[in-house]
Amino acid sequence: MARLEIRSEGTCSVVELGPDPVPLGYDTSGRAAWGRGQVARQVAEVMGDLLRAADGEHRLAPGERVDLGGIEVVYHAGEGDVRAAALNEIGRLLLTVGSLDDLVGRILDAMVRVLHVRRVALALLDDDEVLAVRSARADGIEINTAIAKAALDAGAAILTSEAAVRDDREDEVSIDVRSILCAPLRDEGRAQGVLYADNEGRATSFSNDELDFASALAHLASFAMGNVARTERLREENTMLKQRLGVPGSLVAASPAMEEIRRKVEKVAGFDATVLITGESGVGKEMVAREIHARSARERGPFVAVNCAAIPETLLESELFGYAPQSALAGADPKGRAGKFEQADGGTIFLDEIGEMKPELQAKLLRVLEDKRVDRINDTAPRPIDVRILVATNQNLGRLVGDGRFREDLFYRLNVVAIEVPPLRRRREDIPPLSEFFLRTYPGPEELRKARLSKAAARALEAYHWPGNVRELRNCIEQALILGDGKTIRLADLPAQVRASAGGPLEELPPLVDVERDHIARVLRATNWNKARSARLLGISKPTLYDKIRTYGLAPE
């Protein structure tokens, strides 16, 4: 059924359009009103897609906005349009919202508007894995913890309905159906909280289509909230690292392979040539890009990093190129917004996972490389920029060209200078200095940064094959600092798979089951038997952890 979205003075309502015209105007107190018996001074009326106002009649197009002098209406041809508009609005918020509170408020408003409910909430897991309501649209709303837990464990949105029979009078029996929607919020594979709504105050239960909407909204909300949190964290870490290191670059190199990369970096830093950095995931491609920037004449300019694989395709163009003032994009800033290329003006932009970019954006990137100008969405004229472009990928771009998934002309423009970063297993000489670097720059308590690495632990680190490369090594060091005594990282503090690489006489090595049991027990003790946090540290699911606890007969001391 067609719907009319009505906005005035910060409020928003959605009205279904039936066969009768809907009057629009103001009530006796001068507030916006609609519907028969509510409007004292009428300014227009809508019947189907026909808008009648003082200046004549007008057929409304789906999604069209009309300003009636203090009242703004948006026509939606069907329910799906309202949901799509709300999802689009939340997606566009990724470009404009910098505050978590503002973002959460807009998410809840979208749920109220589309689901036609008055009770919605967003709850987040605290440090003890307990759900706490962060914000809600209803006083005293209580989340059904069983349903929320089921959604978090399943990693999928859940729709439930429960009937309650009550006697209003002796001769009447009334049945209330309470319907609940709960969708999990997840960021980088980890549970963060839930979006929650119930149908109190509305006549019908939620539908499967509304379940799909809640699931899609939770996905977008998770990405948006994670993006805000990561931005704040990166700002803090960047400030902290600069203070500790006192140098612009932090490329740790001890192996011949990395020393050769350092020499290449020194040579290319003085030129504005595009550099293609390749290597497996986690090898440190962004650190190489940052080193190039820090050693270049652009070091005082901005360094802007963009992960092309982490941003939805529908948002990547706006993120990179920005949009013009007064664009017709839902949720967009009317003043317009500069994209990442303009934000990097005078400095360097680093495009990671460039192989994930869709062909239309590849063509637009090629024009930027050739013309040194960017075209904002809906803008009338290109804008000049002064930016050095560095790109990275863990894919074989030559193969993507052969498969028709990457433009050949763009490949040759990007591949002016190529730097391949080898995996950590091929440069084991870098493991000790990298381990020391992660110890000294650990973003936790100051006393932990004074810890030392035992000889046995160092041997195990050098012997391990590191499928996750430098990123896995950093996680390993941080986990060992958390689980250890804070003074020395010993072999027993390392993950089981790393300890198993320590070598030594076979008869001295404990059985694998003993290693696993002891490690799980130590993690449980370190987290005070917080099973959700323990499962995260161990890299396993909570059901798997419960199975291990039963299998090994573990219990709190």
Which pLDDT score is estimated for 544? 86
Tell me the pLDDT tens digit for each residue of 28-64.
888 888 877 788 889 999 888 888 988 888 888 877 8
pTM over 0.85: no
Question: Does residue 219 share a domain with residue 195?
Answer: yes
Which pLDDT score is estimated for 505? 45
Q: What is the CATH number of the domain that holds 115?
A: 3.30.450.40
Question: Does residue 381 share a domain with residue 274?
Answer: yes
In the three-class reduction of DSSP (H, G, I as helix; E, B as strand; rest coil), residue 343 is classed as: helix
Last residue of some domain: 227, 260, 286?
227
From first CA to last CA, the distance across the chain in angstroms is: 61
Distances (CA, A) of 44 to 13, 23, 38, 71, 361: 17, 6, 13, 10, 43
Question: Does residue 353 share a domain with residue 218?
Answer: no
Q: Which two tokens stand for residue 381?
A: 């004229």
Which pLDDT score is estimated for 166? 47
* Number of domains making up the chain: 4
Which pLDDT score is estimated for 127? 63
In the three-class reduction of DSSP (H, G, I as helix; E, B as strand; rest coil), residue 424 is classed as: helix
DSSP 23-41: EEEE-TTS-EEESTTT-SE
Question: Does residue 202 share a domain with residue 93?
Answer: yes
Which pLDDT score is estimated for 331? 56
Which pLDDT score is estimated for 81? 54
* Bridge partner residues of 392 (DSSP): 277
Which pLDDT score is estimated for 78? 60
Quick check: is 382 in a domain?
yes
Question: Does residue 533 share a domain with residue 416?
Answer: no
Quick check: is 283 in a domain?
yes
Question: Does residue 327 share a domain with residue 214?
Answer: no
Which pLDDT score is estimated for 83? 66
* Bridge partner residues of 159 (DSSP): 181
Which pLDDT score is estimated for 315? 82
Q: Which domain holds residue 9?
A: 3-77
Q: How many CB atoms neighbour CB 444 within 10 A?
A: 11
Which pLDDT score is estimated for 532? 86
Question: Does residue 466 share a domain with residue 398?
Answer: no
Question: Does residue 471 share a domain with residue 413?
Answer: no
Quick check: is 430 in a domain?
no
Quick check: is 442 in a domain?
no
Question: Does residue 310 share a domain with residue 388?
Answer: yes
Place of tokens 């650990």: 442
Last residue of some domain: 77, 95, 128?
77
Last residue of some domain: 33, 53, 77?
77
Which pLDDT score is estimated for 511? 65
Quick check: is 240 in a domain?
no
Question: Does residue 149 share a domain with residue 267?
Answer: no
Question: Does residue 208 share a domain with residue 116?
Answer: yes
Quick check: is 431 in a domain?
no
Which pLDDT score is estimated for 332? 61
Quick check: is 363 in a domain?
yes
Which pLDDT score is estimated for 12? 64
Q: Which residues of the chain have pLDDT under 70?
A: 1, 10-14, 16, 77-86, 88-98, 127-128, 162-177, 232-250, 326-334, 503-512
Question: Does residue 415 share a domain with residue 316?
Answer: yes
HSE-CB for 526 with a 13 A CA cutoff: 21
Quick check: is 436 in a domain?
no
